[in-house]
């Protein structure tokens, strides 16, 4: 390599002098922070080939950038990328400190995340050994730091690092999602899904995945932020507590605390000795506030946030030694588990009000975690808040998300059910493992506890269920199986709850999800929360979701294919557009997947005609089926008080249970979920002959009127039925049952197969439309749908500024119409809808905020597919 280039690569920059506080880091960042993000290099250990490195980043992302690794998501790339995770990699950079900076009493190096096994050297001196990607490391480097410094981070392959532990244990742990013969993943505190999953490829990433900073502080500083909690039952309801050990150094005597409202107006201020905040007293950390604004979840009010600012003072009016700030949301969250006549309740109460949880399970949006952008995050929260979600479960096989994720959840009113990162396998329980996990617990609990959005902690995903029902008792010798239980209890029944009692006593803890109910034991459904997999794994019809009703549905789902424009980004139409092609099989990680998808399509829909039709029908089936479940669960309130489907998103382009595919395209399910999670919905049950009006708490009572119009598929009115007006009471999760006179709506078999019923719910006074729904008295495949001919419908696309308008009108019913723009990156105002005969539709399409820029100004070619139209 050319020497000057070599030198240039090694010369590192001191970057970004931030004179700002971050509001979210658990460790209150001091006023003087150097972020080391430039001038890094990386090389394979032992190789002289040195390349510029992205920090934060992982080796794989740089190798892709350098053209040394293929796009890991394209076609069959998976096998060819595995070598990277099997090798060791070195990172290095240099940085300088000015004479003034070297004078700072405290100089620490902060790694916010190292993935995973790393030895860190500063000027040749080893300063850190890391072995957990979920923790930050802060090292006092004052003894070793100089004007010019060389920092080296040497990573070992997580596979070779874990091998001795595997061999010493003498057990191949269950971990069936770990796509290797030896299940090494359980020994390593690294995102479990990196090792593969039943929706994910395997990519063992390695690198400095979160920022590196030099913290230049005074002799006294905040090592932890004060914690603000809200206790409405007390006369002084706001508590500001300085956790023990939160202040380093000996100069601080007082804390100056300010609280600002959302407009920046100071609403409270106090200076008091530290002791009055360590054990909060009315002279210090306890106070009231006139008219406190509460933080509310999406749909129930504003997610109001105050801003708190804390100053450490030397003397009551003395020097400011350090500053910390954070957003504060005043709210209470309880998880109510009370014995009742049906078993045991399971619901969240927010600010005293029972909440029906609406949302989905979230997995990391890529395997290359550091490549995610702010636009990705904003788009994600736009998607979920716009679809009326109020909760996401951050599932335990991924990662604890970055601070900005929880900030966004706080700002959008999305409650977070936060799993600890353990999923679907037994784990070791030796003291070294538990010690490592303990540091992970403390770090993440402290980092996240100030977020009003974080509603509950949960120990793990499905491990209790697995121990009981996944056949491990037979698969392993008795003593091994007993060890699994013993280690399980040490971690989830002891270490985690004990740590939470110390660090975050107010927040609920669920030991394992599901907590009690196994889907194969319907008699248990009244006891709590369930992952209902009778639909999908049990191949039961969707309609069973009306009967198998848990107290809270925390997972249920079926798979579909990604959108066709998305498939075109990872597969080649000529060779790969076939269920049996190697590429499609490689992107379907569930061994039973395509068979089960076809099973469910055949229940309700005509046989798919070709690959594209299969893709389309998989989405119609998934959307309609899961929405049936969501509606039934909402209609079963207050018995059932939550509906989180599996799964919101994808980590790579895959056939999966997601409702938004890897490229951000909404599948049929996301549109259906948005409708089914709307504040007021109609839930018809044509079999039982009833209609349920189901609604989230309303600010005031509402008079509504319901009408039903039966029309044939050419739009001709068959009959009209008006129901008596009803009153929806205010302020409760409600349901109102109305008898559906099915025999009056459809009077013959011909009508049942040749007509639809369109319901409209209107405000009785203003006549404004609240919600509408089209329903059928027969399965789609039994309907006598007219074959759509050319000229039966019109589709016109126009553009005004950045918005496309798509106008549709049809003479015949277009059942399950899917509007395809032929390319990814567009957000449609609606899709996967029944286009009713004679009605005009105008859809809007805008670019998604994280979509790549288009390379053409031409209008996209818009096509329409429905059950009876091929194109």
392 part of the interface to ligand BMA, by CB under 6 A: no
CA 803 to chain centre: 28
Q: At closest approach, how far in Å is the CB of 423 from ligand BMA?
A: 6
Residue from 406, 646, 666, 826 that binds ligand BMA (CB under 6 A)?
A: 646
Question: Residue 578 corresponds to which tokens in the numbers above?
Answer: 């076939």
Q: At closest approach, how far in Å is the CB of 548 from ligand BMA?
A: 16
Residue from 40, 89, 155, 197 that binds ligand BMA (CB under 6 A)?
A: 197
- Three-class secondary structure of residue 445 per DSSP: helix
Closer residue to ligand BMA, CB minimum distance, 514 or 565? 514
Distance between CA atoms of 548 and 526, rounded to whole angstroms?
A: 9
Q: What is the 3-state secondary structure (H, E, C) of 159-215?
A: HHHHHHHHHHHCCCCCCCCCCCCCCCHHHCECCHHHHCECCECCCCCCECCCCEEEE
- 66: Cβ contacts below 8 Å, ≥ 6 apart: 51
Which residues 535-574 are close enough to bind ligand BMA by CB under 6 A?
555
Distance between CA atoms of 511 and 346, rounded to whole angstroms?
A: 13
Q: At closest approach, how far in Å is the CB of 4 from ligand BMA?
A: 50
Q: At closest approach, how far in Å is the CB of 52 from ligand BMA?
A: 36
Residue from 132, 460, 461, 588 that binds ligand BMA (CB under 6 A)?
A: 461
Q: What is the 3-state secondary structure (H, E, C) of 750-780?
A: HHHHHEEEEEEEEECCCCCEEEEEEEECCCH
Q: Which stretch binds ligand BMA (CB under 6 A): 130-138, 139-147, 194-202, 427-435?
A: 194-202
Which residues 44-63 are close enough to bind ligand BMA by CB under 6 A?
none
Q: At closest approach, how far in Å is the CB of 569 from ligand BMA?
A: 23
Which residues 651-680 are close enough to bind ligand BMA by CB under 6 A?
657
Q: At closest approach, how far in Å is the CB of 613 from ligand BMA?
A: 25
Closer residue to ligand BMA, CB minimum distance, 195 or 277? 195
Q: At closest approach, how far in Å is the CB of 514 from ligand BMA?
A: 9
Instruction: Give, as one character, the DSSP assignment of residue 489.
Output: I
Q: At what angle do helices 496-503 and 431-448 cross, to 10 degrees?
A: 30
462 part of the interface to ligand BMA, by CB under 6 A: yes
Q: At closest approach, how far in Å is the CB of 699 from ligand BMA?
A: 36
Residue from 90, 131, 198, 410 that binds ligand BMA (CB under 6 A)?
A: 198
422 part of the interface to ligand BMA, by CB under 6 A: no
Q: Is 237 exposed, middle or buried (CB count within 10 Å of its CB: 0-12, 13-18, 19+)?
A: middle
- 170: Cβ contacts below 8 Å, ≥ 6 apart: none
529 part of the interface to ligand BMA, by CB under 6 A: no
Catalytic residue among 251, 462, 465, 672: 462
Q: At closest approach, how far in Å is the CB of 710 from ligand BMA?
A: 40
Residue from 64, 424, 804, 828 that binds ligand BMA (CB under 6 A)?
A: 424
Q: Which stretch binds ligand BMA (CB under 6 A): 193-201, 298-306, 812-820, 850-858?
A: 193-201
Closer residue to ligand BMA, CB minimum distance, 199 or 663? 199
Closer residue to ligand BMA, CB minimum distance, 51 or 587? 587
Question: Residue 187 corresponds to which tokens in the numbers above?
Answer: 């020994």
Say if strands 51-52 and 41-44 run parallel, antiparallel, or are unpaired: antiparallel
Closer residue to ligand BMA, CB minimum distance, 78 or 198? 198
Closer residue to ligand BMA, CB minimum distance, 97 or 424? 424
566-586 exposure pattern, b = at least 16 Cβ within 10 A, e = fewer: bbbbbbeeeebbebebebbbb
Q: At what angle do helices 611-635 and 668-676 cross, to 10 degrees?
A: 20
- Three-class secondary structure of residue 273 per DSSP: strand
712 part of the interface to ligand BMA, by CB under 6 A: no
Q: Is 462 a catalytic residue?
A: yes
195 part of the interface to ligand BMA, by CB under 6 A: no
400 part of the interface to ligand BMA, by CB under 6 A: no
Q: Report whether 316 contacts 439 (CB < 8 A).
A: no
- 100: Cβ contacts below 8 Å, ≥ 6 apart: none
Q: Which stretch binds ligand BMA (CB under 6 A): 23-31, 192-200, 619-627, 792-800?
A: 192-200
Q: Which stretch binds ligand BMA (CB under 6 A): 153-161, 197-205, 518-526, 788-796?
A: 197-205
Q: Report whether 818 contacts 864 (CB < 8 A).
A: yes
Which helix H or strand E contains 92, and what residues bound it?
strand 89-96
Closer residue to ligand BMA, CB minimum distance, 310 or 556? 556
Q: Which residues are catalytic?
A: 462
Contact residues toward ligand BMA (CB under 6 A) are: 197-199, 397, 423-424, 461-462, 531, 555, 646, 657
């Amino acid at each position: 390599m050319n020497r000057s280039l070599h030198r240039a690569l090694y010369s590192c920059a001191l970057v970004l002098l931030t004179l700002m506080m971050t509001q979210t880091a658990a460790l209150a960042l001091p006023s003087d922070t150097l972020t080391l993000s430039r001038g890094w290099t990386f090389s394979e250990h032992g190789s002289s080939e040195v390349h510029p490195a992205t920090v934060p980043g992982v080796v794989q992302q740089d190798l892709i950038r350098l053209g040394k690794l293929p796009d890991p998501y394209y076609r069959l790339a998976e096998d060819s990328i595995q070598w990277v995770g099997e090798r060791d990699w070195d990172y290095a950079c240099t940085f300088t400190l000015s004479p003034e900076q070297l004078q700072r009493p405290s100089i620490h190096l902060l790694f916010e995340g190292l993935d995973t096994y790393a030895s860190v050297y500063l000027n040749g001196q080893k300063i850190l050994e890391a072995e957990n990607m979920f923790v930050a490391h802060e090292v006092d480097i004052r003894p070793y730091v100089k004007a010019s410094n060389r920092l080296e981070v040497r990573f070992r392959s997580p596979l070779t690092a874990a091998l001795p532990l595997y061999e010493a244990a003498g057990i191949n742990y269950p971990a069936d999602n770990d796509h290797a013969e030896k299940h090494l993943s359980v020994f390593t505190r690294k995102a479990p899904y990196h090792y593969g999953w039943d929706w994910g490829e395997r990519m063992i990433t390695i690198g400095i995945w979160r920022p590196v900073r030099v913290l230049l502080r005074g002799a006294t500083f905040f090592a932890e932020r004060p914690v603000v909690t809200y206790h409405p039952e007390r006369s002084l309801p706001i508590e500001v507590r300085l956790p023990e050990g939160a202040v380093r150094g000996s100069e601080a005597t007082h804390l100056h605390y300010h609280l600002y409202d959302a407009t920046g107006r100071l609403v409270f201020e106090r200076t008091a000795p530290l002791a009055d905040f360590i054990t909060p007293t009315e002279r210090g950390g306890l106070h009231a506030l006139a008219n406190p604004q509460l933080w509310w979840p999406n749909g129930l009010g504003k997610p109001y946030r105050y801003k708190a600012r804390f100053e450490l003072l030397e003397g009551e009016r003395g020097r400011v030694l350090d500053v910390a700030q954070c957003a504060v949301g005043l709210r209470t969250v309880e998880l109510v588990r009370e014995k009742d006549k049906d078993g045991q309740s399971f619901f969240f109460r927010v600010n005293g009000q029972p909440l029906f949880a609406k949302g989905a399970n979230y997995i990391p949006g890529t395997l290359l975690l550091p490549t995610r952008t702010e636009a990705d995050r904003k788009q994600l929260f736009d998607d979920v808040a716009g679809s009326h979600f109020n909760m996401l479960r951050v599932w335990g096989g991924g990662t604890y998300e970055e601070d900005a994720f929880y900030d966004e959840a706080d700002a959008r009113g999305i409650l977070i059910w936060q799993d600890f990162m353990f999923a679907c396998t037994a784990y070791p329980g030796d003291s070294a493992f538990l010690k490592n996990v303990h540091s992970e617990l403390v770090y993440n609990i402290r980092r996240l506890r100030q977020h009003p959005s974080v509603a509950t902690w949960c120990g793990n995903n499905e491990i209790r269920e697995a121990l009981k029902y996944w056949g491990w008792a037979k698969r392993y010798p008795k003593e091994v199986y007993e060890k699994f239980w013993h280690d399980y209890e040490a971690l989830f029944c002891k270490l985690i709850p004990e740590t939470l009692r110390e660090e975050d006593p107010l927040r609920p803890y669920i030991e394992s999800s599901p907590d009690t109910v196994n889907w194969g034991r319907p008699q248990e459904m009244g006891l709590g929360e369930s992952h209902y997999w009778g639909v999908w794994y049990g191949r039961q019809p969707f309609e069973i979701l009306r009967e198998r009703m848990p107290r809270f549905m925390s997972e249920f789902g079926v798979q579909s294919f990604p959108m066709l424009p998305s498939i075109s980004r990872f597969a080649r139409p000529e060779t790969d557009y076939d269920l049996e092609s190697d590429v499609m099989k490689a992107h379907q990680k569930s061994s039973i997947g395509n068979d089960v998808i076809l099973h469910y399509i055949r229940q309700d829909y005509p046989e798919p005609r070709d690959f594209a039709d299969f893709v389309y029908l998989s989405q119609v089936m998934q959307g309609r089926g899961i929405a049936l479940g969501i509606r039934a669960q909402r209609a079963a309130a207050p018995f059932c008080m939550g509906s989180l489907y599996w799964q919101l998103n994808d980590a790579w382009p895959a056939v999966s249970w997601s409702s938004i595919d890897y490229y951000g395209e909404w599948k049929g399910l996301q549109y259906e979920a948005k409708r089914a999670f709307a504040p007021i919905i109609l839930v018809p049950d044509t079999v039982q002959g009833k209609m349920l009006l189901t609604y989230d708490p309303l600010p005031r009572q509402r008079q509504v009127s319901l009408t039903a119009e039966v029309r044939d598929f050419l739009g001709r009115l068959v009959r009209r039925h008006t129901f008596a007006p009803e009153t929806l009471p205010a302020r409760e999760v409600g349901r109102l049952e109305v008898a559906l006179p099915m025999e009056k709506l459809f009077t013959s078999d011909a009508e049942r197969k040749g007509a639809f019923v369109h319901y409209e719910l209107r405000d009785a006074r203003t006549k404004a439309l609240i919600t509408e729904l089209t329903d059928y008295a027969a399965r789609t495949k039994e309907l006598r749908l007219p074959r759509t001919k050319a000229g039966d419908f019109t589709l016109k696309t126009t553009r005004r500024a950045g918005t496309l308008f798509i106008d549709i009108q049809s003479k015949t019913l277009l059942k399950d119409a899917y509007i395809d723009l032929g390319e990814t990156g567009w957000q449609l105002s609606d899709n996967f809808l029944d286009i009713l005969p004679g009605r005009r539709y105008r859809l809007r399409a805008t670019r998604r905020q994280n979509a790549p820029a288009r390379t053409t100004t031409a209008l996209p070619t818009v096509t329409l597919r429905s059950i009876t139209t091929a194109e």
